[in-house]
Amino acid sequence: MRAAELFAQSLKNEGVKYVFGVPGEETLDIVDAIAKAGIEFVLTQHEQAAAFMAATYGRLTGRAGVCLSTLGPGALNLTTGLAFAALGGMPVVAVTAQSGIRDNWKREFQRVDIVNHFKPIVKWNARIENPNDVAYLTRKAFAIAEDQRPGVTHLEFPEDVAAEVTEGEPLARIDIRRPIAEKKALLQAAALLRKAKHPLILVSHGAVRKRVADELKAFVEATGLYVTHTQMGKGTLSDDDLHSLLTLGIHSRDWVHCGIEYADLIITLGYHALEYSPAIWNNGRDKKIIHIDFSPPMLDHFYNPDSAVVGDIATNLKMLGERLVSPSPDFVSAQSPSPSGRGEGEGQWNTSYFASLRETLLKHLTPKPSDQFPLTPQTVLAAARQVLGRNDILVSDVGAHKIWVARAFPTYEYQTCLIDNGLAAMGGGLPCAIATALVMSRRFGRDPDFTSGPERRVLLITGDGGFLMNMHEMATAKRLGVKLAVLIWNDNGYGMIRWHAQKSGLTPVGVDFKNPDYVKLAESFGWQGYRVGNAQELPNILEKAFSANAPALIDCPVDHNETVRVFTEELKNIVCPI
């Protein structure tokens, strides 16, 4: 068989259902083989969208998404989407073509050193130079992409190698079970936690898995500890759980930070510093830290955990809870506890402050609608929450609306509010939402883990600036036939940058622009288009959008001044509850 056919069979062995990309001359053997192997090639309008979609597929399923591009400009166009996956811990295998390496008559035409270009982004990459190496390099790419902290791997596939004959066979996929922490690490963590007065759990994106969500809920019920989330960890513990302190929306002072400041010990689950720097929450380096993750901690000046529980997060959390609730003989012997099961000088955890803080959070952050027009952000979020079910999914692009979604959109299940707080790249919202709708749609019948129940609604909230960066992917959504509603948070400009300039006392420059007629734009792509004319009609328009027989676009004017009022004026006067 051709090397390209062996590659396609290797993808099939990995359980690949989709390859996202844009074909080129140098990929013809590859896409032909992919199609013959029964793998769906999902055409996007731009390679950047292919990388965003592959990353989102990986984020939702835990299996590496695959994106494909031609050489040179096509490969370079993948860069932003791959960086999004790398910083967000999403498994992706990127495949790029290259001109021939045996007899390169094209010489330097479109030739760029993509392997070295991707080095700062990927966990591992390689050029396939021998057709007999296809199977093991493909298996290695998937294993590394999905291992420990997931990320991006890259294979460069020269066109002449893809066409060469090989007698190789695909390698079997092996799913390796993650190890659990050693007993000594669990005992140490339990001892630290028992000595704490007011510990708090911080959940980040590395912990966003169903088993972790289930074990976290059980751990909280057993211990009474309170939980807050980073933006990408949002929803791991339901916002309506009495022990939830919701989500950290902004890095500057906000209500949730009162809980972080009060805590004397932080248990981090799946934590990575890029989302919420420890220089913010442990600036005085006075907090005890228990690190629970699949990987060892990435140490820095402000993040040097007192205990590291490394291995399968869900299992380790369960075992830690068991040692806290029913101490084992080895723990009792090691700690010389009092008859009550707690060591000398170990009092009960004081959670009353966190209970009071939760009431304050709900008072200030629960979105409340108003009749104001243009709409307030709170009105938009209240309408979205009213229309979406608990298991439906909200995808957020990047901009001022992202902060509003993170801090004030009630979320009840893990992976039902998808936010990018790693690369935080504007324009990723639409391709990510399309990929989400593709995975969640029962009509495609290919992802039973996500489609066993009622079909889930998918709503994208995006700023006008971010939407215009990748609006051409409307054609992709229409071609795929996915059901999707897109709400444009229309403030006629880059609201986030405008706000930062204003609060810094600077003149906002280059932040205003004129939008197209979004209803006509939607119709030109075969979408349904709606324009919100008053606050009261938004819920009804959202219902119409989800009932449409095509993807739907909603032009929703939003008052930028409310962002300035809340984020600049209200938050600067915060007084934490005593």
Q: What domains sit in the chain, N to C, each tagged with a CATH number?
A: 3-163 (3.40.50.970), 183-352 (3.40.50.1220), 366-572 (3.40.50.970)
**Which residues have a Cβ under 8 Å from the Cβ of 411 and sit 6 or more positions away?**
234, 235, 238, 239, 247, 394, 417
Q: What is the 3-state secondary structure (H, E, C) of 477-532?
A: HHHHCCCCEEEEEECCECHHHHHHHHHCCCCCCCCECCCCCHHHHHHHCCCEEEEC
Side by side, the strands of the sheet bearing 265-269 are 244-247, 226-229, 199-203, 265-269, 288-293, 307-310
Read off the pTM: 0.94
Among residues 425, 368, 367, the alpha carbon closest in space to that of 396 is found at 425
HSE of 191 in the Cβ direction (CA atoms, 13 Å)? Answer: 18
**Residue 70: strand, helix, or coil:** coil
Side by side, the strands of the sheet bearing 152-158 are 40-43, 18-21, 65-69, 92-98, 152-158, 124-127
The DSSP result for 38-66, as a single string, is TPEEEE-SSHHHHHHHHHHHHHHHSSPEE
Distance of CA 286 to the CA centre of its chain: 30
- Chunk the chain into consecutive blocks of 10 residues (it has 578) and report each block's average pLDDT, rounded to whole numbers: 97 97 96 98 98 98 97 98 98 96 72 94 97 98 94 97 94 88 95 96 95 97 97 97 93 87 97 92 95 94 97 96 73 37 56 96 90 96 97 97 96 97 97 96 52 80 98 98 97 92 92 96 99 97 97 97 89 82
How many Å apart are CA 426 and CA 479, to the nearest integer? Answer: 23
The DSSP result for 236-252, as a single string, is SS-TTSTTEEEE---SS
| Dihedral of alpha carbons 394, 251, 216, 364, sign | negative
Give burial (CB, 10 Å; 0-12/13-18/19+) of 176. Answer: exposed
Tracing tokens 């992919």 back to the chain, one arrives at 34
Among residues 418, 430, 533, the alpha carbon closest in space to that of 477 is found at 430
HSE of 223 in the Cβ direction (CA atoms, 13 Å)? Answer: 29
Q: Are 84 and 51 in contact, with CB atoms under 8 Å apart?
A: yes
Tracing tokens 């939008």 back to the chain, one arrives at 515
How many Å apart are CA 77 and CA 126, to the nearest integer? Answer: 19
Name the token pair of 421. Answer: 């707080």
CA distances from residue 74 to 45, 67, 77, 84, 425 in whole angstroms, order as listed: 11, 11, 5, 17, 19
- The pLDDT score that the predictor gives to residue 345 is 41
- The pLDDT score that the predictor gives to residue 578 is 63
Strands (E), 134-279: 152-158, 199-203, 226-229, 244-247, 265-269
- The pLDDT score that the predictor gives to residue 106 is 58
- The pLDDT score that the predictor gives to residue 446 is 42
